[in-house]
Structure 1
Amino acid sequence: MQNTVKQFITVVMISTAMLIISGCTVRLTEASFIAHDKAPVAFSTEFTQALQLAMPNNAIIPQSLEASDHVKLNGFFIDNPNSNTTLVFYQGNGMKIQPHCLSALTTLSTLNTDILVMDRRGIGASEGKPQIKNILSDAQQQLDYLQQHFQPEKIILHGYSLGSFIAADLARNNKVDALVLQGSATNADDWVDEKTPWYMAPFMTLEMPQDFRNIDNQQVVAQSYSGPLLVIAAEDDKEVPPALAEKLFAASKSANKQLIMVPNVGHQGMLDDVTTMQQYQDFITEL
């Protein structure tokens, strides 16, 4: 998400003078916000081997799913032989399994669960043109596939940054055992308000697709999802201000909820903190 955020804010700041003069509206579109590649790139043998070397006790099983519109989606199922719990990891905007996820997946593997991770459509090894509706539809299909083919006893949905909106939307409509929201905003409107400098606000009118407003993490945890919830935020996060995580946590109606505020890191690096991962492990153990 971070590179797209910076680009968006830069565009807004460059446009400030025009807005003051003309009162123009800044439009946030799916095509401009959701990162996408020109063409899919298959996972290399070297990367798959690197995953295996990082997790020698697990089986690294490539996955290829065909979406309802025949788009091919690719990723991995990381099988821990001692686990019947699957953690489904939803990456941030522009975050490809190769090369961006080796470290995160290696760290998550220390939780001793199985892991399902797929490149969302339009990025990395997956085909297609990303839109909010088809990204959510793909995620539902992947969750159905997981339940049918691997039949886990427990399912943990872990969404990072933009991926947190996918995880929360699935938690709204499916029975899952835990929801983990990392580097997450409450909703698009709050995030834009936090990211817009005060001196620009009087001159800026922002339009965004209704689909952006329909994915609302705060609404999910306040009205729809009441299961175990873990919110992970960073004290120095400049991309998604930690105040939004605190607001999200406060809105949750879950009886079993926990907020981890990671010190001295920004939007990246939260899972590198040893204490955070120990608290994460404790959270899973208690499910």
Structure 2
Amino acid sequence: MSKKLLIGIFKWLLGFYLVVLLLLYLFQDKIIFQATSLPQDFKFSFDQQFDEKTFTTPDGVALNTLFFPANGKSKGLIFYCHGNRRNLKTWGRFARSFTKNGYDIFMWDYRGFGKSEGKPSEYNIFSDAEFIYDKMSEKYPENKIIVYGRSLGTGVATKLAAGYSPKKLLLETPYYSMADVGKKQFPFLPYSLLIKHPFRTDRYILKVKCPIHIFHGTDDELVPYESSLDLAKVLNKEPTELITTIEGGGHRGLERFDEYQIRLSELLEN
């Protein structure tokens, strides 16, 4: 193969690589925040009692929220931070796992999701989480609040718990950082230089003072199980102490496994 041809191939590969980097940088918001909006007059429908409420942030953005009361006497509140897709129309269906265990549950849509206004970003989601948490802590003492995060929401929940003193922090399919998620999928890209929304769970979790527990499936195709093992190393904890491992569990659907429901009930009982 001639030197000229090799140089030509190298230039083509370099150009392709740079285009990939540019596209990743430009479209990462759509990749990270896969929001689905809802019309403002949309009527939610669930097979249990709920209340819908809108909170207006200090900068004037309306955030849509749902509240599901516990079955029977309430033990406290689950402050639920959901994943990066869909909206409360979908996430509301997961409330029963908590209400049947005696907890009220509060869910909210990030900016741009569902009926919530605005545009999502790491900064906006973090500030909105603190704003709404402050509202909830006016009604519930912190020793009665459990912060729960799922997927994207695990970084949000961990950052929130790091700045407050909730009863517990529960994480479902957490990531080490947003750059780490990318590296595990496509290790040849310099994510640490490109990511605008780093979501550094590995840093936030070191500042969390309350008990932490993780749920993760071994067959998670989006956020590998190794991410939770890496977080256990950060905390200097044995994986069996920190993680409920769901054998064969993927990134979605852990609530269908008996191991998840049994361990969740145990955590909500104590």
What is the TM-score with the length of structure 1 in the denominator? 0.79
Change in CA separation of 1:37 and 1:261 when aligned onto 2, cut-off 3 Å: closer
Deviation digits for residues 156-208 of structure 1 (CA, Å, limit 9, x no counterpart): 111111011100010111111111111111112222211115xxx2xx44432
Structure 2 CA distance, aligned partners of 1:19 and 1:182? Answer: 42
Which residue does 1:193 correspond to in 2? Answer: 183
1:278 and 2:262 are equivalent in the alignment: yes
Larger radius of gyration: 2
Counterpart of 2:111, as a letter, is: R
Amino acid at match of 2:25: L
Q: Is the 8 A contact 1:28 1:209 kept in 2?
A: yes
- Residues 122-271 of structure 1 correspond to what in structure 2 (within 5 A)? 122-151=112-141, 153-196=143-186, 201=188, 204-206=189-191, 207-210=193-196, 212-213=197-198, 215-221=199-205, 223-252=206-235, 258-271=242-255
Structure 1 distance, partners of 2:25, 2:98, is 33
Q: 1:60 to 1:34 in 2, by over 3 A?
A: same
1:91 to 2:121 alignment: no
Q: Distance in 2 between matches of 1:39 and 1:74?
A: 11
Shift in CA distance, 228/265, structure 1 to aligned 2, threshold 3 Å: same
Bigger relative CO (Cα 8 Å, ≥ 6 apart): 1
| Aligned 8 A contact 1:188 1:216 in 2 | yes
What corresponds to 1:105 in structure 2? 95
- SS of match in other structure, 2:148: strand
Quote the Cα distance in structure 1 between the aligned partners of 2:29 and 2:69. 35
| Structure 2 unmatched runs, 5+ | 1-9
Aligned-partner SS, 2:249? coil
In structure 2, the residue matched to 1:13 is none
| Aligned equivalents of 1:260, 1:38: Cα separation in 2 | 30
Q: Does the C-alpha gap of structure 1 residues 42 and 108 become closer, same or farther in structure 2, counting only changes over 3 Å? A: farther
Alignment match, 1:10: none
**1:153 shift after superposition:** 4.6
User: Counterpart of 1:172 in structure 2: which amino acid?
Assistant: A
Deviations 1:190-228, CA, capped at 9 Å, x for gaps: 22211115xxx2xx4443245x23x3112222x211321
- Partner residue, 2:5: none
Letter in 1 for 2:88: I
Which AA in structure 2 matches 1:241?
A: P
Q: Which residue of 2 aligns with 1:3?
A: none
The amino acid that maps onto 1:271 is E
Structure 1 residues not aligned, in runs of 5+: 1-16
Tell me how many residue pairs correspond in the alignment: 253
Identical positions, percent = 20
Q: Give, in whole Å, the separation in 1 of the partners of 2:36 and 2:92.
A: 23
- Between the aligned partners of 1:142 and 1:175, the Cα distance in structure 2 is 15
Secondary structure of the 2:264 match is helix
Counterpart in 2 of 1:32? 30
Task: Report the AA paired with residue 263 of structure 2.
Answer: Q
Provide closer, same or farther for how the CA distance between residues 151 and 131 of structure 1 changes in structure 2, counting only shifts above 3 A: same
Task: Give the Å deviation of 1:105.
Answer: 1.6
Aligned counterparts of 2:41 and 2:12: Cα–Cα separation in 1: 44
Offset, 1:151: 4.6
Q: Pick the aligned partner of 1:42 from 28, 40, 43.
A: 40
